[in-house]
Amino acid sequence: MKASPTKETTLKVKVPSVLKPKQAALVGGLAGALEITASYPVEFTKVIMQLYPKFNSMGALNTFKYTVRKDGLFAPYKGYNLLLTACIPKAYMRFGIFEYLKQNIFTSPTVANLTICGAIAGSLEGLFITTPAENLKVKLIHDRFRPNPKFRNMFHGVYKVAQEHGLKGVTAGAGITMFKECSNNAIRFPLFVGLQNVFSPYFNNNLVRDLVAGSLAGMCVVLLNQPVDVVKTNLQGLNATRYNGALDCGRKILMTEGALGLYKGIRPRMVRVAMETSVTFASFNAIKSMVLKYLDAED
C-alpha cells in the first residue's frame, strides 16, 4: 500500500505594521489638535501669570476666574485659533521627524538614540513652527490685559504685530524657543517610552497607561526647564524691548523678582504640559493602533 501523501500546511506570519513617517506625522497632527483644544485655557492662564507679577501672586485659579469675570466664559480661549492652526503642523513635524530619524538613522531603540531623535525633532519644530506661533500667541494674550487693548481680534493682532514690529515680531526669542522645544522632546520621548515599559505590567488598558506615563513625563519636563519657558515668554511679549537677549532677561527677572520669578506660572504650566504630553501621546498611540489595524486589513 502506498502511503497517502501528507499535505504541507504553510503558516503566514504577519509582521506588525509600522507607521511611515508621513503617516505618523498626520496622526500626530490630529493628536495635537485634540490636545490644544482640551488644554488651551490652562496655557492662557500660564502666559498671563508669567507676564504680570500681579496675576502670578493671585494664583492660577484666581487668575482664571478673574479672566472669565472680566471678559466672559470664552476669554481664556483668546489666541486659541492661532495656536490650533499652529499645533497641527507642530505635531506633524514633531512626530514625523522623530519617526523618520528613529526608522532610518538612529535605528537602535536605546535611550540615547530616542533622546537624540527627540532633540532634533524638537529643535526643528521650535525653529519653524513654535517661534512664530508663540510670538503671536504671547502678544495677543499680553494685549488682552493692557489698560487699553489694541487688538480687535486675531487677524487684526497679527496685522498690527507685523506693522509695528516687522519680522522681529514673529522671530523674537528663536534661540531660546528652539532650546526649550529641544529639551522638551529630548526629555519626554525617552521618558515616556521608559514609563510605558515600567507601567505595562500594572495596566490592562493601554490608553490609561499612556495617559499616566504622559502626565508624569510632562511634569518632569516642567520641573527641568521652567526658567527657560519664563524667559521665552517675556522675550516674546509686548515689553520685549527692555531685554537684551535671553541672559539679560533672566538676570533682570532674578534681580527684580528673585529666583522664584523664574518659576512664575509653574503650576498651570505643569497642568498644561502634563495634559499636552498625556493627551498627545495617548491619542497618537490610540489613533496609530486604529490606522495600523486598517492597513493590516487592507493587506
Instruction: State which of 28-37, 139-148, 228-237 shows the largest mean pLDDT.
Output: 228-237
Residue 169 has pLDDT above 70, yes or no: yes
Nearest to 126 by CA among 74, 155, 89: 89
Identify the helix (H) or strand (E) that includes residue 161: helix 154-165
CB count in 10 Å sphere of residue 53: 14
- For 251-264, what is the mean pLDDT? 94
Predicted pLDDT of residue 133: 87
- With cut-offs at 50, 70 and 90, classify the pLDDT of residue 10: very low
Query: Three cell numbers at 34?
Result: 485634540
Q: Does residue 154 surpass a pLDDT of 80?
A: no
Phi-psi domain of 5 (left: phi exceeds 0; alpha: psi -120 through 50; beta: other): beta
Which residue in 278, 113, 271 sits closest to 192, CA to CA?
Answer: 278
Separation CA 184–CA 34 (nearest Å): 19
Report DSSP state, residue 128. Answer: I
pLDDT band at 298 (very low <50, low <70, confident <90, very high): low
From CA 116, how far away is CA 187, in angstroms rounded? 10
Tell me the pLDDT tens digit for each residue of 16-62.
457 888 888 888 888 888 888 888 999 899 999 988 988 999 999 99
Q: How far apart are CA 80 and CA 129, in angstroms?
A: 15
What pLDDT does residue 17 have?
Answer: 59
